[in-house]
Amino acid sequence: MTARIVLALVVLAYALFPVIWIFSASLDPRNTLVNQTLIPPKANFDNYVKLFTSGDLLPYRQWLLNSTRIAVTTTVLTLFMTAFAAYAFSRFRFRGRRSLLQTVLLIQVFPNFLNMVALFLILQQLGAYVPWLSLNSHGGLILLYLGGALGVNTWLMKGFFDSIPRDLDEAATIDGASHWQTFWLVIFPLVRPILVVVGLLIFVGTYQEFILARVMLQDSQKYTLAVGLSLFVRDQYAQRWGVFAAGALIGAMPVVIVFLIFQRYLVGGLTAGSVKG
């Protein structure tokens, strides 16, 4: 038992040390990583105050709002689209089903940043007809995120749909339920664990994504948090590491809050006992 406690403490210290070190840097008024110590001299919270009150700093609050809005919108839309696709692939039989599934998986092998030039040109052309889906728009960026999130998540969710007994569908059909009623009233409540898992993966991945947002967004007011924070440490002679660390810690709060709210749904097994053997 003692060995387990010691091992748990070592693992906990290993996991928390980066966070503690960043917090220490955020309290350091020297704004430098040179000679950084765990307890900085003259530690204070000035860097946190500067994020929201200093007029010469970039719009941190706007970046935080942009990232949260983009991540939430992408997560909600992806969950609905992925759930519909996974239900169709799991429950319906149609021509080309297997080939379509394999194609979706094959496309997902190549990450979005490999198609950067093509995606840039697509948004550039699309913006001429639909301005809110153009370059330098959050709508266009969300569109790219949706395309990159559907494939693997559809496969992941389909596997969970396959584990739900078809007896539930047949019982609902006998009771006169349509396909939509079966999906929404019977199946959907039982797939909450996988919805939460996929939703968390999408939210975290979208919230912290940097490459696509950096290329597609040019206006600093429209930057996401990851892109905006890079401005604090980009200039070699005007780096503000303390402000950067403070902004990174505050920016991590939405992810922590979302995880704390939905952590009870991460444990699977809601389908257990739904059908008597």
The predicted-structure confidence for 79-108, as pLDDT tens digits, reads as follows 998 998 888 888 888 887 888 888 877 777
Res. 8: pLDDT tops 70: yes
So what's the pLDDT on residue 140? 92
Res 54: pLDDT = 65
**Distance of alpha carbon 194 from alpha carbon 159, whole angstroms:** 10
Q: Which residues, 6+ apart, have CB-to-CB distance to 197 below 8 Å?
A: 156, 266
Per residue in 178-208, pLDDT tens? 888 888 888 888 888 888 888 988 999 999 9
Grade residue 269 by pLDDT with cuts at 50, 70 and 90.
Answer: very low
- What's the chain's average pLDDT? 83
pLDDT at 70: 95
Amino acid in the structure at residue 260: L
| Helix, strand, or coil (residue 181) | helix
Q: Name the range with the highest mean pLDDT among 151-155, 239-243, 246-250.
A: 246-250
pLDDT-derived band at 57, boundaries 50, 70, 90: low
Whose structure tokens read 């009150």? 53
Residue bearing the bigger pLDDT, 235 or 27: 27
Q: Which residue has the higher pLDDT, 140 or 109?
A: 140
pLDDT higher than threshold 70 for residue 138? yes
69: nearest Cα among 231, 237, 254, 250: 254
Q: 3-class SS at 217?
A: coil
Residue 113 near residue 211, CB atoms below 8 Å? yes
Residue 235: pLDDT band (50, 70, 90) is low
Distance from C-alpha of 19 to C-alpha of 217, rounded to nearest angstrom: 29
Q: Which residue has tokens 């990851």?
A: 226
Whole-number pLDDT of residue 207 = 94
Average pLDDT of the residues in 166-181? 85
Q: Helices 253-262 and 192-207: crossing angle, nearest 10°? A: 180
| 192 burial via Cβ count (<10 Å: 0-12, 13-18, 19+) | middle
Give me 226's structure tokens: 């990851």
Q: Any idea which of 143-152, 186-195, 205-214, 229-238 has the lowest mean pLDDT?
A: 229-238
Percent of the chain with pLDDT over 90: 18
What's the CA gap between 162 and 43, in Å, rounded?
55
Domains of the chain: 2-44 (no CATH), 60-265 (1.10.3720.10)
- State which of 52-61, 68-77, 179-188 shows the largest mean pLDDT: 68-77
Q: Which amino acid does the sequence have at 165?
A: P
